[in-house]
Amino acid sequence: MQQALEGSQAIARAVALCRPQVISAYPITPQTHIVENLSKLVADGALNAELVSVESEFSAASVALGAVAAGSRAYTATSSQGLLLMAEVLFNIAGLRVPLVMTCANRALSAPLSIWNDQQDSMAVRDAGWVQLYCTDNQDAIDTTIQAYRIAEETELPVMVCMDGFTLTHTLEVLDIPEQAQVEAFLPPFKFARSLDPDKPISVGTLVTPEFFTEARYTHHQALLRATQVIRDVSQEWSAISGRRSGGLLTVSGDATADTGVLTIGAIAGTLEEAIDAHPPGNTARLIKLRAFRPFPEQALREACAGLKRLVVLERALSPGAGGIVGAEVRAALSHLEDPPEVFNFSVGLGGRDVPLETFENLLAAIDKGSGHDFALLDLQPDKLPAEAW
Amino acid sequence: MGLKITRGSYAEPGTSLAFDTGSWRVQRPVHRHVTAPCHGACPAGEDAQAYLALVEQERYREAWETLVSKNPLPAITGRVCHHPCETACNRGQYDEPIAIHAVERHLGDTAIAEAWDYPIPRPAGDATAVAVVGAGPAGLAAAYHLRRLGYRAQLFEALPEAGGLLRSAIPPYRLPQPVLQAEIEHLLASGIEFHPGQRLGRDFSLQELRAQYPAVFLGPGTQRSRDWAIDSVTPRDLHVGLHLLKEWMDVGSVPDWERVAIVGAGNTAIDLARVLKFSGVPEVHIISHKAIPGPGIPPEDSMPAILREIEQGLDEGVKIHEHRGVQRLILRGEKVVAVELVHMKKLANAAGRLQRVAFEGTESLLEVDQVIPAIGQIVESEGLEALLEQGDYLQADAWGRISGHPGVLTGGDARGDRGTVTEAIGDGRRAADVMDAFIRATAEPAQSEVEQILTYDHLNLNYFAPEPRPAAPTLVVPQRDGAKEIDGGLTTQQVLGEGHRCFSCGNCLACDNCWTLCPDVAVLKTRDVAADGSHYVFDYGYCKGCGLCAHECPTGYIAMQEEP
Amino acid sequence: MDTVIPVEELRRQQSRFSGFEAGHRACLGCGEALAARLVTEAAGPDVIYANATGCLEVFTTAWPDSAWRVPWMHSLFANAAAIGAGMEAALKVQGKPTQVIAMGGDGGTFDIGFQALSGALERGHNMLYVCYDNEAYMNTGIQRSSSMPHAAATTTSPAGRERMGKRHLKKDIVSIVAAHHIPYAATASVAYPSDIHKKVRRAMAVDGPAFLHIHTPCPLGWGHDGAITIEVARLAVQTGLFPVIELERGNLVDVLPVRRPRPVKDYLERQTRFRHLFTDDARAREELEHLQAIADHNIDRYRLEAGGTDICDSDSADTVRRGGARWA
């Protein structure tokens, strides 16, 4: 059903359609509207769930974990500082192979303090062992949220649905909210083989010695790698039901013949897509919108880059002392190709700096000038830099 | 090995059982039955702890059967024994000792009332017969135990009735006639062939017995009075204490005396003194060179009489002169009119032997019209001349064997080193065991060494709560007439309560402490009693030997042993 | 008739619920292992457990072995109460009667897990939280926690020339918990196993959060022989240093009276973690007096002095009977 909704509100509705039994909530800008909307749904009886207003994000993740362990579908959402506070729990959830879906409303990390959008937060926990999917727009976020439960429960891996804070969460637009029946057809009732049951007691969270730890870690790693297929299959299935193209590991659009490609992740893909479409043909670029960051879709990426001479990775985070994060992983993935494209790596829009349509032009100009060979901040304003040493 | 990591590394329940923590042990807990002090102290060898445990479970018949596996006369001993078990009882150091004698009495009385059979087999048709001379406590016990061992017991007694001193010399206010009668009849009815009116020496000889029977037990008691004289003077109308007592038991009265002095410190002296009081003699004095037993009085200086009898006697007005002796008799003509008392004690001489010493300068006069010695008896020599060459008593070893006379054993007062009913009963049992070995020419029973006794410090008293000992009803002095039983018994409820109060020293109380407190789930509880008498099994596959169970066992039944 | 039952079969026939099995790797005489066994057997089978990181979790679940026969989960050090809260929320929505018990040591309860505990109590989850208090971070090798008693020595609060063990006082967790006004909070000791049984059942019967703080000696960390774990625990109660009390909605409703308070010396001298207090040193003497004053204060504050004999007091609460009947 088409409705004009704020992004957060839409997410709340999508989550409600999946009928989680337990929602844990701790407020943090810009996620707050999601949990507020969910609270209202519960209060109005539109959603039969226990909404646990916890005392920190560490407990939010723990409560959600406990709920799934006890056999209920659960949900929580967070951003930035909250995501880091629950970092310990994230690793724990993934290592225990517990199916949980969480929305991360991407926001910059302190220090310095910022409430505005970049992707440093979810990037900082990329090694936690979760599936990480990045949404390009709010419709994508709705569809991805629903698919996330399916992916999680099939692979027994937790799924983090990343959506840019404010840019997506606080934007009002007309969105299609699926029908309950569609979700019912797509998402079976929650069943978790290792839930805690007095009739079939097991011990979860054991100590594993060096004798078996490698194999334990390996199985987790393999599960994530194989999730690429599940992500693909699930998005196809949902496409059939929803009638929309949605998901997959990545999407290729723009100029199929161009020998320059731009790879990006998150909402700025929309900006770039618009800019590329507006560009005169012949001097545009292939646009690769990366949806799955974990598992890292190596194979799909290589296929998407076939024939490219240059690839510009445009991302929303920075690993201080190293450089780009997505860029580094892309470079590594493409290095096996016989004739890999030259990879340029830029970060843009850190701490919520606006990414305007001109970004595409700026990007092309920058690489022509030779910038970004290793890594550069595309929108750096040097006159704001201090004179003294770093 | 084949073990494969599970998804999320979960584990199946209870799989820790695959890990053998028992390999960590350097010491292991074992169940170790240690003799309870009551058991160790009983001259008859009764395991009071064992039957108190059965009493606590209201298994009274089994309790009685356990008791009579050692002592067949509990209704009697429950009344007359000086109960060293109670003195030894560990509970005495906590609050008050268990009233074991009252439990014994109750079991004995119940067995008679319910006509429970003694748990001994009927003798086989071809069972060997053994002779027992004397149907006092020693002889009765010997005959019973021989029957228990499968022999036919031929019990010969000079008097028309069985009982010995039990019948003739223990006053009815201590041991009522009906009780004595009932218990002896009950015992004889278990299959002892009783031949009354048969006197050794007069009617048959020891030689004849030895020819006819493979072994002989002699329990003749001490029927002859010691000669008594003070300064070579004996009153013409001398009455010997024991005989006077017997006469009173028989006839019911005593001569008309005003003031009597009894010389002696044993049960006979006290019993006689009390009997005289009950019979109306206004003044009764006991002259004893020993002291009334009490704290600070060493055993060698204590009057051998039972303390309770002494105390009751004092209540009744008997006067006891401690550390005194009679130095001279003051006569008028032939009659005694006074005795000269002197301070006297038994002291060790230079050679270490105890001797009576009179302290010059401490003389005093006590006006009496009769002086009665109650200084002990010796064996009547008729028929036993061959065995009495050494002296006044039948010399025997710990089992009762008379050296130089294989197959002839003795027990009870005749040995000379006894003085109580219970010791006599114990002698009867020990002799029977050895006679059995002798007859079958098997190895004799192992000499029972002084087994380790469970001392107070081995108990864990944190698990017991103080509770007073019940007081049995006792006749007040004005109601005592010499005929009515003075000390009553306890009710069944009170007896059961004493069973509850028993600490179960050295034996499993089935209290569940070890089972409750083991952190390693290595103590398992059994439904039935396990082979070692406990209700628990140590699972040595997992027991780490921490010692908690041993430390917290209330009864001292668990000991830690070095791991083999 | 003689019957021989193999020990494995006898183990299966035990007449109490076994949620905690043999073969775990706790030290000899571990008070916490005993307490965990007592808690699981009193709680019964229809419970799921959330356990914080610490000795208990480590010695029971070295993969593939698990000593637990109940559904059990260990997540992290600081979140037992939050995991439990999530489990409780799930079971509530599912409409199942299964209950939740969250467990942690003093580290995971008083310190690192404190926030999650407070949050769970405040939100009123129908859950029992059990704290096994051995008064230090034992699993990591005996380091100071806020639960440690004053003047005790650990590796991070050792006694030396400048210091006499822990400077600060034992954190008064019961008062803090009481301030949440939860329906039921209690302290208990492994020296009184029937009392633990009773309190677990009472807590499970309560609707809402319940908290049970169990004193569990650690032979290794406290410095005493494993065989006297119960004796040491009992002395802590009998000196007044560890009051055994019950509170409802923050108000004191019952105590285990102390029949005849023992001097704290009796308790302290049995443990090497206090041995520095028995040297010939004025500061040591002062600390002994301080600890005695704390014990006396506890006796006053909680009115622990028995004034007579009570069958449920510190000297009679575990009176045994033939056949094993206990009052709980």
Domain of A226: which CATH number? 3.40.50.970
CB distance A203–C72 less than 8 Å?
A: yes
Distance CA A208, CA B447 (A): 60
Write down the pLDDT at residue C328.
Answer: 64
CB contacts of A205 in chain C (<8 Å) are 51, 57, 61, 73-75
Residues 6+ apart with CB under 8 A from C32: C26, C55, C56, C105, C132, C134, C216, C218
In this complex, how many residue pairs, one in chain A and one in chain B, have their CB atoms less than 8 Å apart?
39
Query: Pick from A48, A52, A62: which is nearest to C75 by CB?
Result: A62
pLDDT at B510 over 80: yes
Residues B219/B414, Cβ–Cβ less than 8 Å: yes
Query: Pick from A206, A212, A219: which is nearest to B7 by CB?
Result: A219
| Enclosing domain of residue C180 | 27-301
Residues A129 and A216 in one domain: yes
Burial A110-140 (b: 16+ CB within 10 A, else e): eeeebbbbbbbbbbbbbebbbbbbbbbbbbb
Percent of chain B with pLDDT over 90: 75
CB distance A201–C71 less than 8 Å?
A: yes
Distance CA A87, CA A93 (A): 10
Q: CATH code at C153? A: 3.40.50.970
Q: Confidence class of residue C248 from pLDDT cuts 50, 70 and 90?
A: very high
Query: Pick from A22, A71, A209: which is nearest to C62 by CB?
Result: A209
d(CA B127, nearest CA chain C) in Å: 29
With H, G, I as helix, E, B as strand and everything else as coil, classify residue B345.
strand
The tens digit of pLDDT for each residue in A20-47 reads 999 999 999 999 999 999 999 999 999 9
CB distance B16–C70 less than 8 Å?
A: no
pLDDT at B50 over 90: yes
Determine contact: B315 vs chain C, CB below 8 A. Answer: no
Residue A389 lies inside a defined structural domain of this protein: no
Distance CA C92, CA B178 (A): 76
Residue A7 lies inside a defined structural domain of this protein: yes
pLDDT at B215 over 80: yes
Write down the pLDDT at residue B422.
Answer: 96
CB proximity under 8 Å: A 185-244 to C: 196-198, 200-209, 212
CB contacts of A92 in chain C (<8 Å) are 75-76
Residues A174 and A256 in one domain: no
Determine contact: B504 vs chain C, CB below 8 A. Answer: yes
Residue A196 lies inside a defined structural domain of this protein: no
CB distance B524–C14 less than 8 Å?
A: yes
Query: Pick from A194, A212, A215: which is nearest to B8 by CB?
Result: A194
Residue C314 lies inside a defined structural domain of this protein: no
* Host H or E run for residue A108: none
CB contacts of A65 in chain C (<8 Å) are 75, 83, 86
Domains and CATH numbers, chain B: 15-33+507-562 (3.30.70.20), 37-118+459-501 (1.10.1060.10), 129-223+379-440 (3.50.50.60), 227-375 (3.50.50.60)
The tens digit of pLDDT for each residue in B520-546 reads 999 999 988 877 778 999 999 999 999
d(CA B18, nearest CA chain A) in Å: 16
Q: CATH code at A286? A: 3.40.50.920
CB contacts of C100 in chain A (<8 Å) are 70
Residues B524/C14, Cβ–Cβ less than 8 Å: yes
Q: How many structural domains compose chain C? A: 1
Residue A41 lies inside a defined structural domain of this protein: yes
Write down the pLDDT at residue B448.
Answer: 64
Write down the pLDDT at residue C2.
Answer: 64
With H, G, I as helix, E, B as strand and everything else as coil, classify residue C179.
coil
Q: Could you state, in chain order, the average pLDDT of each consecutive group of 10 residues for chain A (390 residues)?
A: 95 98 96 95 96 97 98 98 98 98 97 96 98 97 98 98 96 96 96 97 97 97 98 96 90 89 96 91 87 97 94 96 96 93 97 95 92 92 89
CB proximity under 8 Å: B 242-301 to A: none
CB distance C230–B552 less than 8 Å?
A: yes
Nearest CA in chain B to A193: B7
Residue A202 lies inside a defined structural domain of this protein: no
Write down the pLDDT at residue C1.
Answer: 53
CB contacts of C14 in chain B (<8 Å) are 524-525
Residue closest to B520 by CA, chosen among C29, C43, C57: C29
The tens digit of pLDDT for each residue in B149-180 reads 999 999 999 999 999 999 988 999 999 999 99
d(CA A60, nearest CA chain C) in Å: 8
Residues 6+ apart with CB under 8 A from A352: A108, A114, A115, A116, A117, A118, A166
CB distance C70–B13 less than 8 Å?
A: yes
User: Which one is predicted more confidently, B559 or B417?
Assistant: B559
Residues C165/C151, Cβ–Cβ less than 8 Å: yes
User: Which one is predicted more confidently, A255 or B61?
Assistant: B61
Question: What's the whole-number average pLDDT of chain C?
Answer: 93
Write down the pLDDT at residue B245.
Answer: 86
**Chain C interface mutation, best of B462, B529, B561, highest count of C Cβ atoms under 10 Å:** B462
Distances (CA, A) of B159 to A180, A389, B140, B154, B305: 111, 128, 14, 15, 26
Query: Pick from C46, C72, C94: which is nearest to A21 by CB?
Result: C94
Residue C320 lies inside a defined structural domain of this protein: no
Residues A26 and A146 in one domain: yes
- Which tokens sit at C166? 């822990």
Determine contact: C63 vs chain A, CB below 8 A. Answer: yes
Chain C contact partners (≥3 CB pairs within 8 A): A, B
CB distance A212–B11 less than 8 Å?
A: no
How many C-beta neighbours within 10 Å does residue B183 have? 24
Determine contact: C64 vs chain B, CB below 8 A. Answer: yes
d(CA C172, nearest CA chain A) in Å: 22
pLDDT at B347 over 80: yes
Residues A20 and A169 in one domain: yes
**CA of residue C261 relative to chain centroid, distance:** 21
Write down the pLDDT at residue A71.
Answer: 98
Residues A62 and A173 in one domain: yes
Write down the pLDDT at residue C13.
Answer: 93
**Beta partners for residue B341, in sequence order:** B326, B364
Query: Pick from B13, B511, B522: which is nearest to C69 by CB?
Result: B13
Q: How many structural domains compose chain A? A: 2
Chain B contact partners (≥3 CB pairs within 8 A): A, C
CB contacts of B8 in chain A (<8 Å) are 95-98, 156, 194, 204
Write down the pLDDT at residue A355.
Answer: 96
**ipTM of the assembly?**
0.95
Residue A16 lies inside a defined structural domain of this protein: yes
Residue C328 lies inside a defined structural domain of this protein: no
CB contacts of B542 in chain C (<8 Å) are 22-23
Residues A227 and A134 in one domain: yes
Chain A contact partners (≥3 CB pairs within 8 A): B, C
Average pLDDT over residues C238-246: 97
Query: Pick from C60, C91, C119: which is nearest to A59 by CB?
Result: C119
CB proximity under 8 Å: B 360-399 to C: none
Distance CA B490, CA B496 (A): 10
Residues A266 and A363 in one domain: yes
The tens digit of pLDDT for each residue in C212-229 reads 999 999 999 999 999 999
CB contacts of C57 in chain A (<8 Å) are 205, 207
Query: Pick from A54, A72, A203: which is nearest to C119 by CB?
Result: A54
Residues A116/A165, Cβ–Cβ less than 8 Å: yes
d(CA A159, nearest CA chain B) in Å: 16
Distance CA A152, CA A94 (A): 11
CB distance A65–C119 less than 8 Å?
A: no
Average pLDDT over residues C202-220: 97
Residue A204 lies inside a defined structural domain of this protein: no
Residue C4 lies inside a defined structural domain of this protein: no
pLDDT at C163 over 80: no
Sign of torsion over alpha carbons B289, B292, B296, B297: positive
CB distance A202–B3 less than 8 Å?
A: no
Residues A380 and A306 in one domain: yes
CB distance C28–B545 less than 8 Å?
A: yes
Question: What's the whole-number average pLDDT of chain B?
Answer: 92
Average pLDDT over residues B314-340: 92
CB distance A203–C86 less than 8 Å?
A: no
Say what the alpha-carbon torsion angle B19, B22, B24, B25 is, to the nearest 10 degrees. 170
d(CA A295, nearest CA chain C) in Å: 24
CB contacts of C21 in chain B (<8 Å) are 13-14, 16-17, 521
Say what the alpha-carbon torsion angle B49, B51, B57, B62 is, to the nearest 10 degrees. 160
pLDDT at C189 over 60: yes
The two beta strands, B523-525 and B536-538, are: antiparallel
CB contacts of A212 in chain C (<8 Å) are 63
Query: Pick from A156, A203, A215: which is nearest to B11 by CB?
Result: A203
Determine contact: A208 vs chain B, CB below 8 A. Answer: yes
| Enclosing domain of residue A144 | 2-185+209-242
pLDDT at B67 over 80: yes
Residues A237 and A269 in one domain: no
d(CA B4, nearest CA chain A) in Å: 8
Residues A360 and A256 in one domain: yes
**Chain A interface mutation, best of B1, B3, B4, B5, highest count of A Cβ atoms under 10 Å:** B5
Residue recorded with tokens 């183990």: C11
